[in-house]
């Protein structure tokens, strides 16, 4: 039975990896990775195996012993071996992460560095069905999304886990049948680690109620995966057709989001936000809830800080998602020395002396009048009457429903202390004129960013 399972597995691997493929194989020296190495060494497809071993530096004697075992194994089987020594306890303390999580992060970094360095096809790991059941329970306890409940995917980008549907006891039988040696990680018996506690205390109790628990989890995860596949197609279609990106700002029409179910909204927000997160960061459910609350809010504007510089902002009928560090600078100041057309980071200005009222605004300027382009400041006013009547720009922006995000991107044209032009709003200054007897300069501003934001 065990032999047949692994024969079928060999056939299945051929569908994911072409003959002679170069692979990175995670080799701890434990039962799972030793079985995996033996499986690939005995394949007819002649895979080019590069084994990667991480010495975590947790238990010095055990780490050294495992490293020596792996060295001897690879020498005996003529497999190239890469070893990385890491002080996980020190890094764990520095980054304020658990030993398990820090180890996982550093292993992945090493595997991916090796994948890129040697231009390999896949990173192959020895996860099995028992690992899958443990991960499912662990994520259920901590709270997760439908995507999280898919647990460990067989194929996930560069990562391939061919034994994910095989139970641990089958792997042990395979090793014994082939007279293979392996090492035991003593920390696997330490119940202070969440996964170990679940393995040794929770799963045995569950199996008293359902001896076939592992396969039940496998079937459940398969159904969750089918649901996620369907949902992802919907999400990708929405993002492709409805999410606009300009200058690193993602823009979504709120009316489009209100039309669709809450579950789909959550999935869309989650996928867009995850684009701003690194592998080591976690998007929590509250982040998604807070962003969705902005969509339903009766207030015209609002802002949620997801993490550090990542912001979800509502501005009237649109939702904006952006990283503060990656959007254009919005505190600029430029002196216009000559009336030549000029392109800036996210807007263009055009000057003319010809009359084209459809596209240009015209202004009376004296010989000594110099135009400065700057951003909005609190208290800014525009004078619209010769009698020094003015109106605050803040009030104009509110009346014309200019989103807060856009206000600090709008280039204001200033002469002395007087604002003469505010693009993208209807307010006109006292300097604006179309009388032919006046000496006029025409100004036009275009901005793809502002057009999309507003």
The predicted-structure confidence for 92-123, as pLDDT tens digits, reads as follows 999 888 888 899 999 999 999 999 999 999 99
Q: How far is residue 51's CA from residue 299's CA, in Å, rounded to a whole number?
A: 57
Q: Quote the pLDDT of residue 439.
A: 75
Residues of the chain with CATH 3.30.465.60: 247-323
> Rounded to an integer, what distance in angstroms lies between the CA atom of residue 361 and that of residue 352?
10
Cα angle 132-133-137, degrees, rounded to a multiple of 5: 115
CA-nearest of 51, 201, 225, 61 to 126 is 51
pLDDT digits (tens, 9 = 90+) for 197-253: 999 999 999 999 999 999 999 999 999 999 999 999 999 999 999 999 998 899 999
> What is the CATH code of the structural domain delimited by 2-223?
3.40.50.620
DSSP annotation of 190 reads -
Task: Report in angstroms the alpha-carbon separations of 52 from 110, 111, 133, 155.
Answer: 8, 7, 25, 19
H or E segment to which residue 240 belongs: helix 213-242
Q: Are strands 122-124 and 22-26 parallel, antiparallel or unpaired?
A: parallel
Q: How confident is the model at residue 338 (pLDDT cuts 50, 70, 90)?
A: confident
CATH number attached to the domain at 247-323:
3.30.465.60
- Please report the pLDDT score of residue 445 as a whole number: 93
Contact in structure between 402 and 450 (CB atoms under 8 Å): no
User: What CA–CA distance (Å, rounded) separates 254 from 105?
Assistant: 37
Stretch 176-189: mean pLDDT, rounded?
Answer: 88
The DSSP bridge pattern shows strands 22-26 and 155-156 to be: unpaired
pLDDT in tens, 33-78: 999 999 999 988 999 999 999 999 888 888 899 999 999 999 999 9
Q: Output the pLDDT for position 105.
A: 92
- State whether the Cα torsion 209-214-220-221 is positive or negative: positive
Domain with CATH 3.40.50.620 in the chain: 2-223
């Amino acid at each position: 039975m065990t032999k047949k399972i692994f024969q079928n597995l060999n056939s299945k691997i051929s569908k994911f990896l072409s003959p002679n493929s170069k692979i990175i194989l995670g080799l701890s020296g434990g039962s799972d990775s030793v079985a995996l190495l033996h499986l690939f060494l005995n394949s007819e497809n002649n895979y080019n195996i590069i084994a990667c071993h991480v010495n975590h530096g947790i238990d010095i004697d055990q780490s050294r012993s495992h490293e020596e075992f792996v060295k001897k194994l690879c020498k005996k089987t003529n497999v190239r071996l890469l070893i990385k020594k890491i002080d996980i306890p020190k890094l764990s303390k520095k980054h304020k992460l658990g030993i398990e999580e820090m180890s996982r992060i550093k292993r992945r970094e090493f595997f991916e560095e090796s994948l890129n360095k040697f231009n390999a096809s896949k990173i192959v790991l020895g996860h099995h069905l028992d690992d899958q059941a443990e991960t499912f329970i662990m994520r259920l306890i901590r709270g997760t999304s439908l995507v999280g409940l898919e647990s460990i995917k067989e194929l996930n980008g560069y990562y391939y886990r061919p034994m994910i549907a095989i139970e641990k006891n089958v792997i042990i039988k395979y090793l014994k049948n082939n007279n293979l040696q392996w090492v035991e990680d003593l920390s696997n018996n330490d119940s202070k680690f969440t996964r170990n506690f679940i393995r040794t205390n929770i799963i045995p109790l569950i199996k008293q109620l359902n001896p076939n628990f592992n396969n039940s989890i496998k079937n459940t995860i398969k159904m969750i995966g089918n649901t996620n596949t369907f949902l992802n197609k919907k999400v990708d279609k929405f993002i492709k057709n409805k999410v606009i990106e300009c200058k690193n700002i993602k823009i979504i029409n709120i009316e489009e989001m209100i039309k669709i179910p809450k579950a789909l909204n959550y999935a869309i927000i989650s996928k867009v936000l995850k684009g701003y997160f690194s592998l080591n960061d976690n998007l929590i459910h509250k982040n998604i809830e807070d962003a969705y609350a902005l969509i339903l809010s009766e207030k015209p504007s609002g802002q949620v800080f997801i993490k550090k510089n990542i912001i979800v902002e509502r501005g009237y009928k649109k939702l904006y998602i952006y990283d503060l560090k990656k959007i254009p600078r919005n505190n600029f100041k430029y002196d216009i020395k000559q009336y030549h057309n000029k392109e800036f980071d996210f807007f263009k200005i055009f000057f003319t002396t010809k009359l084209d009222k459809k596209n240009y605004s015209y202004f009376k300027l004296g010989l000594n009048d110099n135009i400065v382009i700057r951003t909005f400041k609190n208290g800014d006013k525009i004078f619209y009457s010769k009698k020094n009547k003015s109106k605050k720009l803040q009030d104009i922006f509110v009346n014309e429903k200019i989103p807060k995000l856009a206000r600090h991107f709008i280039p204001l044209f200033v002469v002395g202390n007087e604002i003469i032009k505010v693009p993208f709003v209807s307010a006109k200054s006292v300097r604006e004129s179309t009388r032919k007897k006046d000496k006029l300069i025409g100004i036009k501003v275009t901005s793809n960013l502002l057009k999309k934001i507003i």
